[in-house]
Chains A and B, each alone.
Chain A
Amino acid sequence: MRRTTAATCAALIAALGAGCATSGTPETKQADANAPAAITWWSTGGDDESAAFQKAADLYTKSHPNVTIKVQTLSWDDAYAKLLAASTSRSGPDIISGGMTWTIQFGLRGGMVDLRKYGIEQLQAKAQPAQWKSAVSPDGTVYGIPLDMSTEALYYRTDLFEKAGLKEPPKTWNELTADIEKLKKSGVKTPISIDWGNLDWIGYFNFLYQAGGSFYTPDCKPSLNTPQAEQALSYWIDLYREHGAPKDTVTTSDALDAGTAMVYGGNWNALAIDTSKPKLKGKWAIAPLPVGPAGPTTFIGGRAVGVTSYSKHIQQAADFVKFLYTDEAVDAVSAESKARNVAYIPPRPDKVADSPFTPEHSAVFAEIIKTGAAAPGCPGWDESASDVAKQLQAAILGNADVKTALAEAAKVMERNAG
């Protein structure tokens, strides 16, 4: 399966309450990293992504001739079950990568190694801080570190903007609302659409943080009972109710092709549009999401990678995981991703500019990531995510008012927090 995974990641993340994201630091301790070892890495995603990671593995084995590393693909659909089965039977791969919170979940069950023992903290300075934090267990144990990132941008049709007399994409919520009106007047039927996170907590996430709210306080108390959360939800709801954002999810490329002027879409779409909709070439661009009253925060997802506790080569595997944050490793993965049209954003913000996207797009993503925030890593969030989404839907689809919906959502989060 190829070229797809980002979209699925989006889906799966949500399904499993994880995040699709990443961050880092290199420099290797040469302990017994050269002892002979055959390392297997189960990589959740697509075959093209595995092929890209294999390039980094090949680089590593070149300088460590006794080590072999094989990257195998697990499809998002059943990766979680397969990894869980492996950790139950305590036999399986040495390295795993998957949803942002998976390594934590397996770690809490005893299936992962605490990478702090192998000097992983030195990578933290290289990583995107929020993403790093979401990969770390609430008690501080590092069962996994970010492997890559995904994020969201505003895709817009430049030709439709021009027709409506707009020179640039909206920079703030107010401008967004104003531009929607102008676009409507110029004859655009659907001025705005939300792809990634439509009717879902990920979609709300952006508005919530941009309004200065959050799902949890820093010490993991549910915090949806705030005026900021209300303001964010009201604004988001209006996009659907007042401004006709579709409730049925239309993929970014389909939406733009059908004449939607602006789409909140995942970064992977930047590589997909010109391939599937050649006629749109030159008629679209991307920008950071419009800034809210409190700032520009945007959701960062991605995958986490970690070393299994049942591996026979923990030392070497951990050493290789650290290697993934080196310049040469990131560059190798980026280059192969570019060749295969894989939407890879490295876990190191300083390397995002060299990611497989066009330089303009890479620059936009680099900017977005600076202020990005990742999924809550608080206890009980995984269980709560789908109920929270349901409350948000109740508010959007009209049978609940904003306050009640948020109170209900907070109640669920409180209960699941234990």
Chain B
Amino acid sequence: MATHAAAPRQRWRRYGTSYLMLLPFLGLFAGFLVWPLANSLYLSFTKFDGVNAPEFEGLENFRRLLFDDDRFRHALGNTFLYVVASVGIGTLLSLGLALAFSGSSWPHRIMRTIFFLPSVTSSIALMLLWKWIFNPGDFGLANTVMTWFGGRAVEWLATPGLTIPILVLMSVWGGMGYGMVLYVAGLNTIPQEYYEAARIDGATSWQQFRRVTLPLLRPVTTYVVVTGLIGAFQVFEAVYIVFRGTNNIGGVLDSGLMIVPYLYDQGFTHFKLGYASAIAWVLFLIIFALSMVNLRIGRALKEL
């Protein structure tokens, strides 16, 4: 409660500059994140084609999404399958690579650079490259390799059963180097003394790995897995570039349809902007749940 009349004025003098310095960030944050977020929630309850004013229709979009839209259910199923496979395989390989190449000798450094290369390469360029590699012609790289091993040319991108495996392959190939680097950093924070102590106790390398390395890498693993899951749920480019067919975004039989590509398809190809907003909110809820697992944020809040 204001004890003197001059309080508001003083307060402004005292804090004016502070708020002014906060303003650019907060203004943009409010304008392009908070407001759109609220707006998106509103739009998710409407029918909106981008031209006529949004028409409120309650939970209709969500009802249709969850109970009456085979394509969305399909997209959800595909996404979960893709996420679990790509994060699972990717994390294991990242850890393996980190254990194999954590040293400071030049072969290790070169290997680390090689595995990290996709992380700094243009992702669209990589997707176009994959599309070219999986060209159905006999001259495609993948098919050439098939013939080396006595196989026959495969229609990689038009075989529904291969779509998710190919997406997982592309994701693991492109992402394991990043996880590796995080694991290497984690490994380097483990004091050598722990290993020495374990060796004195007669622990084998496997036991050292189980009892020392793995438990101490827990925070890194949590981080790699959670950020991996969140990133994987948002997959878009791989589907859009490699699998988009002439009349739908998800590839043959929608075998590669995922949440964000479907959002794009509904929102920006068919201009069902209300429906797309509902899809966006389903994605939000999934990612929100995942983020709650991410303890780093909780910890940061405590620090403040």
Contacts and interface: CB of A to CB of B under 8 A. Distances in A.
B118 interface: no
A88 B269 contact: no
A188 interface: no
Interface in A240-287: 246-250, 254, 258
Contact of A397 (B136, B252, B269, B271): B252
Nearest to B136: A248
B52 interface: yes
Contact of B159 (A84, A85, A109, A247): A247
Interface stretch (A9-17, A42-50, A302-310, A357-365): A9-17
Given A16-B269, A84-B51, A199 B136 contact: no
Contact of B254 (A11, A85, A390): A390
Interface string A166-202: 0000000000000000000000000000000101111
B52 A109 contact: yes
Contact of B51 (A109, A197, A202, A397): A109
Contacts, number: 72
A383 interface: yes
Interface stretch (B18-26, B190-198, B212-220, B240-248): B240-248
A335 to B, nearest CB: 31
Contacts of A14: 246-247
B11 interface: no
Contacts of A15: 246-248, 269
B143 to A, nearest CB: 10
A264 to B, nearest CB: 14
Interface residues of B, number: 26
A10 B254 CA distance: 19
A385 B247 CA distance: 8
Interface size class of A (residues with CB under 8 A): 35 or more
Interface string A386-397: 110110011001
A131 interface: no
Contact of B247 (A246, A249, A386, A394): A386
A249 B157 CA distance: 9
Contacts of B160: 397
A339 interface: no
Interface of B: 49-52, 71, 136-139, 155-160, 245-248, 252-254, 268-271
Interface of A: 10-11, 14-17, 80-81, 84-85, 87-88, 109, 111, 197, 199-202, 246-250, 254, 258, 383, 385-387, 389-390, 393-394, 397
Identify the 5 closest CB pairs spanning chains A and B, nearest first.
A248-B136, A248-B158, A14-B247, A248-B155, A247-B158
